[in-house]
Every structure is written in C-alpha cells, then in structure tokens.
C-alpha cells in the first residue's frame, strides 16, 4: 500500500487520499477572452492537405500509403513510398526557424494589444513541461497501449525531454516605451540532430500540402546535379517563406 492509500504522517507532512478529479472544463466564453486578429496574413495561405490526403480529415482512420496512392497511381506511386533524403532538401524553399523576439509582426501585434510578453508555443512548452515533471514527481506516462516489444524498455519521458531547458527574457523596445519582453529559447543547447528533424518536419509538411509534381520539381534536389528540376525565382522563394506559419525555434 502507498502513503496515499491510508492517511498518515511522514516527517511532519499529512497525506490524505483524494478521489476527486482535480481537472475541470475550461470556460472558453468569448466574452472572457480577447481574440487577437491576424492582420497581415490571409487565411488562404494556411496550408491545406493535398494529394488526396484530405480523405484523412473526412474519414479518420489508419490508411496504408498504398491506399492513398490508388487515387492517382501515375503521380503518387513513388511519392509516399519513398521519402527524399535530408541531403535532397531544397532549403531555399523552406523558411528557417528563428526566435519570437526577432519577429517584427509578432512584436507589432504584442505592442498593439498591450501585451507584456511575446513567445512561441515551443518556447513556453519546455518550461511548462518541467513544471509538470516536478509536480508529478517525474511520473512515467501511461504506456498500456504499446506492443509487447516495449515491455522491457524504459517507459518514461525521454532524456531529451527531461534535460534542463533555458530561455532568455529579452526586453523589447516599443514606440510608446511600454514594457514588452520576448521569451526566446536558448539555441546554443540545440543539438544538430534535432535541427535535422525539425527541418524534415517542415519538409514533410510541404510534401503533404503541396501538389506532388510541384513538390518534386521545386523542393527536391537532384542527387547528381544538386539542383531542383525547376529553378525558383527570388520572388517565388520569398512567397513560399512568407506563407510559413510554423517558424519559431
């Protein structure tokens, strides 16, 4: 039996079993929350599933890549079954990651709405995760749904998740001299292997939201020439980068 099963005392602390759920529904009444309008990006630029992958949103489930390929075998047969290597990424087409403190539009919106802090979800998530680990005493996640192959594996959060995280609180200059701070991740501790995975994630997003022929022509480098089939103009490169919604490190 654990200490939580029976009320008791240990070193002056009282332990009482509590069967009540501590979670509760979050009230999302629009009247209590201020919606910030995106005034510089069009809704039409939000990436949408392409290459018949939209069936996944209409009929959720597990689909073998062969099943998607059948919609257009001529175009899609090698597309989903063979992922281009990292060395074949045409990085000109993909916007780099950068800290929230370097985003001019984010700073403008924060100042406009008199916010005190500006950050990205990835920046603040690392801090909130460590708070959770401490509150839960590094309790392992629930892994009951995994196959037997994982029975002897360490079932806990990965080292990359549990390692220390640091952020910078950088004061920003605003025209009205308000206090505005940017919470930026410490990129100095970023592992090169993690950066590769981040870039591949953006690459795969383009793969799933761009027409297969356009993707192969512009985003994939030829192994022999190290160039794309069709060269992008500087204007097209800038347009592709401006459409990137997920760009914070």
pLDDT at residue 138, rounded to an integer: 86
Mean pLDDT of 133-156: 80
Residue 81 · residue 62 · CB < 8 Å? no
pLDDT at residue 198, rounded to an integer: 76
pLDDT at residue 24, rounded to an integer: 67
Q: In sequence order, what are the residues at sequence separation of 6 or more whose Cβ sits closer than 8 angstroms to the Cβ of residue 221?
A: 87, 88, 89, 90, 227, 228
User: Sorting pLDDT into bands at 50, 70 and 90, what band is 117?
Assistant: very high
Q: Using CA atoms, how far apart are residues 67 and 77, in angstroms rounded to an integer?
A: 10
pLDDT at residue 189, rounded to an integer: 54
Mean pLDDT of 48-76: 82
- pLDDT digits over 210-221, tens only? 899 989 998 899
pLDDT at residue 161, rounded to an integer: 83
pLDDT(205) > 60 = yes
Of 26, 176, 171, nearest in space to 113 by CA: 176
pLDDT(181) > 90 = yes
């Amino acid at each position: 039996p654990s200490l939580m099963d029976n009320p008791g005392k240990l070193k002056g602390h009282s332990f009482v079993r509590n069967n009540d759920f501590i979670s509760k529904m979050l009230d999302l009444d629009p009247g209590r929350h201020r919606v910030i309008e995106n005034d510089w990006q069009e809704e039409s630029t939000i990436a949408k599933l392409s290459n018949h992958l939209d069936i996944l949103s209409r009929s959720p489930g597990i689909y073998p890549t062969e099943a998607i390929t059948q919609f257009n075998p001529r175009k899609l047969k090698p597309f989903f079954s063979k992922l281009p290597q990292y060395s074949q990424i045409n990085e000109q087409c993909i916007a780099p990651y950068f800290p929230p403190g370097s985003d001019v539009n984010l700073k403008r919106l924060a100042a406009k709405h008199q916010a005190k802090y500006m950050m990205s979800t990835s920046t603040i998530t690392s801090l909130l995760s460590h708070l959770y680990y401490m509150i839960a005493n590094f309790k392992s996640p629930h892994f009951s749904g995994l196959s037997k192959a994982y029975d002897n594996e360490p079932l806990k959060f990965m080292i990359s998740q549990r390692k220390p995280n640091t952020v910078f609180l950088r004061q920003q200059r605003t025209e009205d001299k308000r206090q505005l701070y940017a919470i930026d991740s410490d990129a100095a501790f970023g592992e090169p292997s993690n950066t590769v995975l981040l870039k591949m994630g953006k690459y795969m997003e383009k793969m799933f939201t761009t027409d297969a022929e356009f993707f192969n022509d512009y985003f994939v480098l030829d192994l022999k020439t190290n160039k794309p089939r069709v060269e992008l103009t500087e204007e097209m490169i800038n347009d592709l980068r401006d459409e990137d919604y997920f760009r914070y490190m």
